[in-house]
Amino acid sequence: MCGIVAYIGFQPAAPIIYKCLGKLEYRGYDSCGIAISNRDNITVEKDTKRVAALQFNTLPLDGKIGLGHTRWATCGEPSRANAHPHVDCLHKIAVVHNGNIENFEELRKALVGEGHIFTSETDTEVLPHLIEKYYEGELGQAVTRAIKDIRGSFAIAVICAGEEKVVLAKQKSPLVIGLIDKEYIAASDIAALLDYTDRVMYLEEGDVCNITTVGIELYRNGVLTELTEERIAWKPADTRLGGFSHYMMKEINEQPRVITETLAAFEGVSEKLIGLLDPPENRRTSLLMVGCGTSYHSALVGKYIFEELIGRPVNVELASELNYRANVIADKVALAISQSGETADTLQAVRRIKATGCKMVCITNVEGSQLSRLADLSIYTKAGPEISVASTKTFIAQVALLYAICISHANIDEILKKDLERGLGQIPILIRQFLNEQSNIETLGRYLATFNNVLFVARGINYPVALEGALKLKETSYIHGEGYAAGELKHGPFALLDSNTPAIAIVAHDRTYEAMLTNIREIKTRKAPVIAVVEEGDKEVADLVDIVIEVPHTDPFFSPMLNVVALQLLAYYTALERGCPIDFPRNLAKTVTVE
C-alpha cells in the first residue's frame, strides 16, 4: 500500500522524486523518505512527515540517481527508524519496498546470527542486508539472489553506492517504468509519472530489471527479455486540484463527465460480452462477483441490476473472505471489480477463481494493472486518476458500467431497452443539476458533525447505497456510521436509537416505498432525528422526517446513482466541519496492495 519511486538520468534526482512522491501520498502518508546516490555515498533523509514537509526541512541533495518512499505502516509503527529507505550495515545499499515479506523473522534471525545489525522493526530491512550478503560487485545479481530467499509480495527499487544503476524487482505488487529519453522513473502507479511522460512499461511477476542511462535490461525467469512500451491516456491536469479545495470535491464534481465517458467507451466492448456473461444455458446458474470496500458495494448494486434485468441470480463475495473459504464455487464466468486493479485480496480471489477453470471479467480503472492482466476480458471505467482516498467517481463509474452491461444484454422488449438506455444517459445531466442546485447539504453537514453515531437505512437496490454512505462518513469524518437494510432494524439496531443517533433514510419510489415509510415512523417513535434522501417533491416523506435532501426525479431503477452523490456530499461537508484531513484520512491508504 506504500508508494515507491526511483529515478536515474541526467537531472538532479531529489526534486523529481519528491514531486512523484507527492502524487503517491494517497497510497500512504505515515512517513516518507528519500535516498540519493552521489558517486561513492548514499544520503538518506526520512521522517514521520508528509512529503512536502520533509522536502522543506532537509538540505538539498546532490545526485542523479535516487529512491523515494511514502509509507502506510504494516510492520512496525510509524517512526523515523521504520520509515524507508532502509540501508545495509555499510550504508552502501538502499532499498524501498511496497509489499509484505512473510518470512522476515526467520531471515532476520539468520542475518543477525551472521553479524548484521538491524535498526528498525520492519520486514523491509531484511532486504538491504540480504543484498549486502550476496553482493559480489554487481547489484542486479545480488538482488536476484536475495529475492529467492523471500516469501511474500514485493515491488522494490535498489541502489548501490559506486554503481550508476537502479535495480527493480516485482512480485504481486505493482511497478511501472516511465521512459523519458535515456531518463527513467519507476513508480508504484502511473499517477506519479504523468508530469514527466506518457510512455510506460509494466513489469510482470518475477521480473528483475537493471536500469542505467544506457537503457533497460529486463530478466524474466532469468532470461533477457524485451519490454513493450505503452501509452498512458491520462493527462497531467487529471492529478491537479483545478481550483477545488479538496480532491474529494473535485472528484465528486467530475462524476457527470466520468459517467458519460465510461458509457461511451463501453460501446466498444459490449459485443465482447455476448455469450460470456449471459449465455442461455447459464440463465439459471449464479454469477459470482467479488470486490472489496467500495467496489464490493458496487457489486451489490450489480446484484440487484442483474437479477432485475437478466433474471440471473448473483452471489456477491468479499474477496478477503473468499480467500479463506475451503472451496471456491464458481460457474463458467465471474466478475471482479477493483478501482486500482491492484487490490491484493481481489487479485488473490481472482487467482483462486481462475484455478477452477472459470473465465474472469474485470471492471477496473487502470489499464495495465495486475487485475486487467489476469482477466480474460477487461472493461475500463474512464474515471481518470482518483487521488482522494475516499472513492467517489470510481464507484459511480463502476455502477454505470454494471447498468450498461445489464441493459445491453437483457432479453427484454426493445422499447423498454431504449427507455432504459435513455434513462441511464440522462443521469449525468441530473447529477450536474443536483450539484449546481444543492444548497442545504453544507448546512446539514454542520448539523451532522455534532453527532458521534449515525445509522443509514434503505431497502432494495438502495441498500448498498446505505452501506456506501456509511463508509464515506466513517472514512472522511471519523463519525461511526452503520448501513443497514431497513427491514433489519427490529433485529437489533433499534437498541441504538435515541435523540443522539440520527438515521439517514434513502427512499426510492419503487416497490420498497411503503415499507420505508413504515420504517421511518418506527424510527421516529424512538426519538431519533431522521434525515431522508428523497425524490424532489416527495411531500409524504417530508412530512414524516426532520430534514430532507431532494434529488432530481429519475426512474427508481437508477436512483442509486443520484442518492449516492447526496451522501458523498454529506460526508464531505461533515468532515469539513470537523476539520478532518478529507483527502488523506488517518490510518488509510487508497490502494490496498497487502493482505
What residues act catalytically? Answer: 2, 590
Q: 482-518 in b/e burial notation, b at 16+ Cβ within 10 A?
A: bbbbbbebeeebeebbeeebbbbbbbbbeebbeebee
Q: Rounded distance, CA 524 to CA 497, Å?
A: 9
Distance between CA atoms of 432 and 401, rounded to whole angstroms?
Answer: 19
Indicate the SS3 state at residue 467. Answer: helix
Q: Indicate the SS3 state at residue 32.
A: strand
Selection from 278, 309, 274, 294 nearest residue 467 by Cα: 294
Q: Are strands 93-101 and 86-87 parallel, antiparallel or unpaired?
A: antiparallel
> Hunting for cell 527493480 — which residue is that?
168
Residues 32, 82 contacting (CB under 8 angstroms): no
The number of beta carbons lying within 10 Å of the beta carbon of residue 123 is 23
Residues 75/122, Cβ–Cβ less than 8 Å: yes
Write down the residue that cell numbers 465471474 correspond to.
Answer: 334
Distance CA 469, CA 531 (A): 13
Do the Cβ atoms of 493 and 521 come closer than 8 Å?
Answer: no
**Phi/psi class of residue 17: alpha, beta or left (left: φ > 0; alpha: ψ in -120 to 50)?**
alpha
* CA atoms of 335 and 126, how far apart (whole Å): 38
| Phi, psi torsion values for 447, nearest 5 degrees | -70, -50
Distance CA 179, CA 202 (A): 11
Angle of the 255-266 helix axis to the 393-409 helix axis, nearest 10? 30
Cis before 464 (ω within 30) = no
Beta strand 314-318 pairing with 230-231? unpaired
DSSP string, 333-385: EEEEEESSS--HHHHHHHHHHHTTT-EEEEEES-TT-HHHHHSSEEEE-----
All three cell numbers of 378: 477487461
Nearest C-alpha neighbor of 343 from the set 114, 174, 124, 586: 174
SS3 6: strand
Residues 6+ apart with CB under 8 A from 589: 1, 2, 26, 27, 28, 29, 72, 389
Please give the backbone phi and psi of residue 429, each rounded to the nearest 5 degrees, phi first: -65, -45
